[in-house]
Amino acid sequence: MVTFFCPGCWEEITGEDKKCHYCGADITEHEKRGFEEKLINALNHPERETVQRAVWILGRLKSVKAIEPLKGLFEQTDNPFIKIEILNTLDEVATQEAVDFIAKSMNSEVSMVRRIAREIIERI
The b/e string for 44-75 (b: 16+ C-beta within 10 A; e otherwise) is eeeeeeebbbbbbbbbebebeebbebbbebbe
Nearer to Zn ion, 23 or 112 (CB): 23
CB of 7 to Zn ion, least distance (A): 8
The total number of residues written for the chain in this structure: 124
Choices 12-20, 36-44, 67-75, 114-122; region in contact with Zn ion by CB under 5 A: 12-20
Whether 85 contacts 53, CB under 8 Å = no
CB 120 within 8 A of CB 87: yes
Instruction: Pick one of 4, 5, 6, 43: the residue that binds Zn ion (CB under 5 A).
Output: 6
Looking at the Cβ atoms of 20 and 54, the one nearer to Zn ion is: 20
Which parts of 17-76 interact with Zn ion (CB under 5 A)?
A: 20, 22-23, 25
CB of 12 to Zn ion, least distance (A): 10
Cβ 6 to Zn ion shortest distance, Å: 3
Residue span 76-95 as binding mask against Zn ion, x where in contact by CB under 5 A, dash where not: --------------------
C-alpha span between 102 and 76 (Å, rounded): 16
Closer CB to Zn ion, 13 or 67, in the complex: 13
- Measured CA to CA, the distance from residue 40 to residue 37 in angstroms comes to 5
DSSP annotation of 106 = G
Which residues would be at the binding site for Zn ion (CB under 5 A)? 6, 8-9, 20, 22-23, 25
